[in-house]
Structures are given as C-alpha cells and as structure tokens.
C-alpha cells in the first residue's frame, strides 16, 4: 500500500471518528453509514479511494461496538424475544438501507 493511500485512510478514520463522537445514537449512525456505504459501492471508485472511504471513514463512523453493546444490554436483561427481534431488525434495516443507497447512486449516474 502506498504511503499516500495509508495517510488518506488515517485521515478518513479521524474524520469518521470525529463525526461519530457528536452523534449518540447507534441506530441513526448505522442507517446513515449503510446508506452511504451502498452509495459509495455503486460509484465504482478507484481502488485507493474505495479503501479510503470504506475501510477508513465508514469503519470508524459506523459503530459495530455500539451495536454490540446495545444488544449486550438486552441480552443481560434476559429478554430473549426482544434480543432476537432487535438483532434481526437492525440487520434487515441496514441491508435495505444499503441497497437503497446503492439504488439511488445508480439512478443518479
């Protein structure tokens, strides 16, 4: 990997983390991240730009740890039905949101 790409990924991680610090809702961040992730995938960017956006920005902006912590709290309460419904609904909502971003991006170009 070239040093320019590596520094771009580090900068994108910084921006993603900085933005994530101001939004305290994991579901909102996850939905925005999924939408723009699908949008970027459909754009067919160069390899280095795609790595900067997907591996740098979105991996820092969307919070898998926030998602897991939310599910962990439900799991510790012993509410299995709520846990299963929350887990599946979050995954399904994010997949549809990502596809919608992909679809919108294809319609624009």
* pLDDT averages per 10-residue partition of the chain, 109 residues: 77 85 82 88 83 82 76 87 88 91 88
- Dmax over CA atoms of the chain, in Å, equals 48
Alpha carbon distance 14, 54 (integer Å): 13
pTM of the model: 0.78
The pLDDT, as a whole number, for residue 92 is 92
Q: Dig out the tokens for 78 from the structure.
A: 């012993």
Rounded to 5 degrees, what angle do the CA atoms 58, 48, 41 make? Answer: 50
pLDDT score recorded for residue 1: 59
């Amino acid at each position: 990997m070239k040093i320019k790409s590596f520094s771009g990924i580090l900068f994108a991680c910084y921006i993603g983390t900085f933005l994530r610090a101001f939004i305290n809702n994991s579901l909102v961040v996850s939905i925005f991240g999924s939408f723009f992730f699908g949008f970027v995938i459909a754009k067919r960017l160069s390899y280095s730009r795609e790595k900067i956006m997907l591996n740098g920005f979105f991996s820092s902006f969307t919070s898998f740890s926030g998602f897991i912590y939310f599910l962990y709290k439900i799991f510790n309460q012993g509410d299995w039905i709520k846990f299963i419904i929350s887990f599946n609904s979050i995954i399904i909502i994010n997949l549809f949101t990502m596809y919608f971003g992909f679809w919108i991006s294809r319609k624009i170009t």
